[in-house]
Amino acid sequence: MPCQLRTLCQTLQQLAPLELAESWDNVGLLVGDPDDSVWRVMTCLTITPPVVQEAIQRECELVVVHHPLPFKPLQRITAESPPGRMLLQLIRANAAIYSAHTAWDSAESGINQQLAGSLRLQSVRPFHPATTNGGETEQAGPTVSVMGAGRFGDLQSPADLRSLATALQRFTGASQVRCVGSAEKLCRRVGIACGSGGSFLPVAIQSGCDVLVTGEASFHSCLEAETEDCPLILLGHYASERFAMEMLADELRRQHPQLEIWPSQAEADPLSLP
**Whether 198 contacts 218, CB under 8 Å:** yes
Q: DSSP class of residue 17?
A: -
pLDDT over 70, % of the chain: 95
Average pLDDT over the chain, rounded to an integer: 93
pLDDT digits (tens, 9 = 90+) for 222-256: 999 999 999 999 999 999 999 999 999 999 999 99
CATH architecture, domain defined by 3-103:
3-Layer(aba) Sandwich (3.40)
Q: Pick the closest to residue 240 from 209, 201, 214, 270 (CA basis).
A: 214
Kindly state the average pLDDT of the residues 269-273: 90
**pTM of the prediction?**
0.92
Rg (CA), the chain: 19
Strand 211-216 to 232-234 pairing:
parallel
Q: How far apart are CA 157 and CA 160, in angstroms?
A: 10
What's the pLDDT score for residue 130? 80
What are φ and ψ of residue 80, in 5° steps?
-80, -10
All CATH 3.40.1390.30 domain ranges of the chain, comma separated, are 3-103, 108-238
What superfamily does domain 108-238 belong to in CATH? NIF3 (NGG1p interacting factor 3)-like (3.40.1390.30)
Residue 138 has pLDDT above 60, yes or no: no
